[in-house]
Structures are given as structure tokens and as C-alpha cells.
């Protein structure tokens, strides 16, 4: 998932603003206690998400895929004074762990954490979103994109994580069978790039961020 040489990645992190104490502890405890800890956004990507949010000063953020809450806390840093982030995850087993860190953070009152199927929850949301972060099951990326698109304001952003899929999307061998997740992300990336309603950048940060701005 990390495409930069380790020394370059380390140097970049050393010259990036540090995590907060809550984020640093969440980072450590996720790696120590939770399965598939590589799903955590981590220091460098987390600071990028926080920077995006701080530049936008969004009133409403939607996150699809909470995991242990690291990215939600990063995105919450840039919220407007009256802003909120709705973050949705289907894994109820992580709720206690994640909610503990939300409650300990300075953003507890701004985080609306919901457990359930995002595909069922999103159609009932009435908010207009400035920023949407998609980081859930890859097979449903296009479904989530389609569900949220009309709920994003003009000039707003949809950021989709893991679009490089450990490099698999850029290492297709002729005649070799492509697994379903990789094919789905190939289709999703093409759809984002070809969507006339947006401008897009695929940023090769960590496992790839597709950044789509609604025009």
C-alpha cells in the first residue's frame, strides 16, 4: 500500500505536522488490538485529509467507512464552527473501541457515528455535503458515488480511498485473469475520470486517493 521508498516516506512523515495525542494513541492501539490495521489512514494520509478539510472549512462531511475513526477525527479538524461529520460503518464489533476515541476527542459533539448499511442510510440523509470520503467495501464504490453525488454541493469534493489497490490496477498482465475487486476499481477509476460532471486527480498517496470536484 505504500509506494514510496521507505526512506522517502519516513522523511516525508518527519517533515509533516505530528498527530494529536488522541490520534497517536488511536494509531498505536489499532495496530496492537484490531485486525487489518493497515486499513487505518495513518499519519501522512491523515494529515492530508485534515489539510483538505481545513482548506475547505466544510459545514457537512460524510464518511462512508469509519473503521476505528482515525480519518473521521482528521476530517473533523477542519469543520466550520457549526459543522458536523456523519460517519457510517457496518461493523458493529468496532463500535465500542471507536466511540471511545470519538468521545475523548475535542470533536465529540461534531461526530454523528452511525452503524448500519451505508447504501440504506445515505438515501435518507437530508444534508448537502461539502466533502464526502469513501473508504468502505470496494465492490460498492460506484454505488456509494452515485448515491451521494446529488447530495454534494457544486464545488464540493468526493474523495475515494484505495483506488490504486496495492498497485494492482496499474499492473494488469495481458491474458491474466483480473480479480473482482481489482476489476471493480478499474471500472470505478475510469468512471470517475470520464465523468463530465467533475474534475479529478488520482493522487498516488499511500494506496491512492481519487479526488473528484463537482463542477
Residue 6 has pLDDT above 90, yes or no: no
pTM for the model stands at 0.95
Residue 2 has pLDDT above 70, yes or no: no
pLDDT digits (tens, 9 = 90+) for 62-121: 999 999 999 999 999 999 999 999 999 999 999 999 999 999 999 999 999 999 999 999
Q: What are the structural domain ranges in the chain? A: 6-214
Residue 35 burial class via C-beta count within 10 angstroms: exposed 0-12, middle 13-18, buried 19 and up: exposed
To the question of domain 6-214 being in CATH 3.40.50.150, the answer is yes
The pLDDT-based confidence of 38 (bands split at 50, 70, 90) is confident
pLDDT at 117: 97
The whole-angstrom separation of Cα 185 and Cα 203 is 15
With vertex at residue 138, the alpha carbon angle to CA 66 and CA 43, rounded to the nearest 5 degrees, is: 45
Q: pLDDT at residue 1 above 70? A: no
CB-based burial label for 156 (10 Å; 0-12, 13-18, 19+)? buried
Angstrom CA distances, 194 to 36, 108, 152, 207, stand at 32, 38, 18, 21
Amino acid at each position: 500500500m505504500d509506494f514510496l521508498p521507505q526512506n522517502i516516506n519516513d522523511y516525508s512523515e518527519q517533515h509533516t505536522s505530528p498527530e494529536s495525542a488522541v490520534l497517536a494513541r488511536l494509531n498505536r492501539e489499532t495496530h496492537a488490538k484490531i485486525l487489518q490495521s493497515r486499513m487505518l489512514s495513518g499519519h501522512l494520509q491523515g494529515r492530508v485529509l485534515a489539510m483538505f478539510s481545513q482548506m475547505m472549512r466544510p459545514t457537512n462531511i460524510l464518511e462512508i467507512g469509519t473503521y476505528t475513526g482515525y480519518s473521521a477525527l482528521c476530517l473533523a479538524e477542519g469543520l466550520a464552527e457549526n459543522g458536523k461529520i456523519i460517519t457510517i460503518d457496518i461493523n458493529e464489533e468496532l463500535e465500542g473501541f471507536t466511540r471511545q476515541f470519538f468521545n475523548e476527542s475535542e470533536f465529540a459533539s461534531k461526530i454523528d457515528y452511525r452503524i448500519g448499511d451505508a447504501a440504506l442510510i445515505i438515501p435518507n440523509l437530508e444534508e448537502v455535503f461539502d466533502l464526502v470520503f469513501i473508504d468502505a467495501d470496494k465492490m460498492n464504490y460506484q454505488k456509494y458515488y452515485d448515491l451521494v453525488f446529488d447530495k454534494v454541493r457544486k464545488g464540493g469534493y468526493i474523495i475515494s480511498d484505495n483506488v490504486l489497490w496495492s498497485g494492482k490496477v496499474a499492473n494488469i498482465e495481458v491474458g491474466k485473469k483480473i480479480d473482482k475487486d481489482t476489476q471493480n476499481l478499474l471500472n470505478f477509476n475510469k468512471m470517475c475520470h470520464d465523468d463530465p460532471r467533475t474534475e479529478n486527480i488520482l493522487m498516488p498517496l499511500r494506496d491512492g486517493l481519487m479526488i473528484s470536484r463537482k463542477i
